[in-house]
Chains A and B, each alone.
Chain A
Amino acid sequence: MIYFYALIVLSSLGGGLAVLLLIADRFLADYGPCKISINDEEPFIVEGGCTLLDVLYEQKIFIPSACGGQGTCGFCKIKVFDGGGPVLPTETPYLSKSELADSTRLTCRIKVKQDIVLHIRPEYLDVQEFRSTVIAAQMVTHDTRQVVLKLIEPQEIDFRPGQYIQIQVPSSAATTFRAYSISSPPSSKDEVELVIRLIPNGLGSTYLHKVQVGQEVTFTGPYGEFVLDEDVETELICVGGGCGIAPMRSIIRYICEVSPQRKCKLFYGVRTMKDVMYLDEFQQLADRMSNFEVHYALSNPKHSSPWQGETGFIHESVANHVNGKGNRQAFLCGPPLMIEATMKVLEEKAVPKESTFYDEF
């Protein structure tokens, strides 16, 4: 009998608390309709209570968010002039002093509770949602897969070399996205090629390593700050680490199509011989492009490996091979330490900061 009472007491207490919380949630978290006005245009009305990122997504406005709204990437910056509430401690690590001063906020951290006035960069308003099918997939190293997506709706995508897209990963939340750089050149408007390294238990990479040819994949894009200087006299310095080769492939294949005589240096760093990818492809491109140099460096070559090329960290290779003066533009993509070390080297080589673009992952 005592166990029966215990059961009754525990379940009624648990149930009571749950009902209380549900009722509280129903009434307390009900913020009613809220007006959102973007870039001084006619406001639209949404139901309050969700994050601003989700609300904008429902309105087909796709703000970049590599972490999928978890507040860990700091990509979803927009300007919120009114109704965003005070800046949260979870936002401050991603916002500089000047950004804090000009009302920049992280979209994923703001809960819509009242009317909001905000400003979104016009290029974000051009971002579209695409439906596509996997038409080819192959492993390029032991843990990296190349996937080609053929667009279904819309049928074409316009992007700059070095930009990225956000793959929608099937999950219960609508905004679970993971960002991947496009590695195909902008001339292939009906296809995008991605290079995905498998991260154990990673949401996006495990999904893209499993998708089969014929399967449908949804993504939004294009995003990204990389802006290539079209002046052929400007020398290009492309530095990639690991999967950071993807945007460099896009840039170099584009250069090969439009100005094959342009001066360009590719630096690519990986740990061991088995991580090396696309070396043959770049060597073939180098045969066609007289001013294109390819530098691959292994940071941890095994003694027995037949590797004949450079060894050491990739920023050391950059320090050895980047010389001269004139206009130069640099694109960096790779792990934060690589970016940091390479930025330092480029600064010593007098490559202007405003001509250096980087993408950390």
Chain B
Amino acid sequence: MPDSSIGGVAVILLAAILTNNILLSKFLGMCSFIAISRDLRTAWGMGLAVTFVTFTTAVLNYGIYYGVLVSDAPLCAADLTYLTFLVLIMVIAGFVQLVEMIIERFSSVLYYKLGVFLPLITVNCAILGVNLLMIDPDRQFGLVQTAAYALGSGMGWLLAICLMAGLRRRLEYADVPKPLQGLGITLLITGLMAMAFMGFTGMVDI
């Protein structure tokens, strides 16, 4: 069981942002990362939305997984862990819908800022990835650690997409060889960024 003190939780948060960055260490959430990293402002909006949804669905799914799906769950005696994928994705999809409605109703400014990216979060694999990794038996995360891990992963994704958006803006003035322009150079930079982030690995690991 990992350390559940404030220091331990802070380590998980930091590790999720830097050393185990969900995007740069596991390459999850690549589609929206490449599609939406052209402009820094939209990248920032998308990153915030992903962070929020990752955090809330991970906490929600933590409750459902340990409350219903596992073999010694208080609400259901049978081992239903084989339904994990299905249940997690259902909750994420439903939750994104709900979040969309709430934001549309109460903060139209934020709703219009996020625009089409909000429903797209449903199919962001970084979110499903975090939801699956938090229940990894090797980690044995409690609720607080899960919340820190999910928040950190979301923030890590936000950091990566914002860095990429900044780099791509500079790339507009760079003399990129023609065959590499667009997707090619973006993937190369992502690889370089991943290697740079690997430099943090020695610090902490989760």
Contact = CB atoms under 8 A, between A and B. Distances in A.
B87 interface: yes
A20 B101 contact: no
B96 to A, nearest CB: 11
A86 B112 contact: yes
Interface stretch (B27-35, B46-54, B78-86, B177-185): B78-86
Interface in B88-116: 90-91, 94, 97-98, 101-102, 104-105, 108-109, 112, 115-116
A173 interface: no
Given A5-B78, A17-B91, A24-B101, A86 B83 contact: no
Contacts of B115: 88-90
Interface string A2-20: 1001100110011001101
A17 B102 CA distance: 15
Contacts of A21: 94, 97-98, 101
B124 to A, nearest CB: 19
Consensus secondary structure, chain A interface:
helix
Given A24-B102, A85-B112, A113-B108, A9 B97 contact: no
A24 B98 contact: yes
A337 interface: no
Contacts of A341: none
B167 interface: no
B86 A10 contact: yes
Nearest to B106: A28
A86 B64 CA distance: 38
Nearest to B103: A28
Given A21-B98, A25-B101, A89-B116, A13 B90 contact: yes
Given A6-B83, A21-B94, A28 B76 contact: no
A199 interface: no
Contact of A88 (B86, B87, B98, B112): B112
Contacts of B102: 24, 28
Nearest to A18: B94
Interface residues of B, number: 26
Contact of A9 (B83, B94, B112, B116): B83
Contacts of B82: 6
Interface in A69-93: 85-86, 88-90
B9 interface: no
A1 to B, nearest CB: 7
B25 to A, nearest CB: 31
Contacts of A17: 90-91, 94
Interface string B53-75: 00000000000100011000000
A9 B79 contact: no
Contact of B76 (A5, A86, A88): A5
A136 interface: no
A227 interface: no
B101 A9 contact: no
Interface in A85-141: 85-86, 88-90, 113
Interface core residue of A10, A13, A113 (most chain B CB under 10 Å): A13
B116 A90 contact: yes
Contact of B80 (A5, A29, A113): A5
B191 to A, nearest CB: 30
B65 to A, nearest CB: 11
A77 to B, nearest CB: 19
A28 B105 contact: yes
Nearest to A30: B105
Nearest to A1: B78
Interface in A192-219: none
A20 B98 CA distance: 8
Contacts of B76: 5, 9
Contacts of A85: 108, 112
Interface in A22-37: 24-25, 28-29
B90 A2 contact: no
A25 B94 CA distance: 12
B83 to A, nearest CB: 6
Nearest to A5: B78
Given A6-B80, A6-B83, 4 more contacts: A2-B80, A13-B87, A24-B102, A89-B115
Interface of A: 1-2, 5-6, 9-10, 13-14, 17-18, 20-21, 24-25, 28-29, 85-86, 88-90, 113
3 cross-chain pairs, A with B, having the tightest CB-CB distances, nearest first: A17-B94, A5-B78, A28-B105
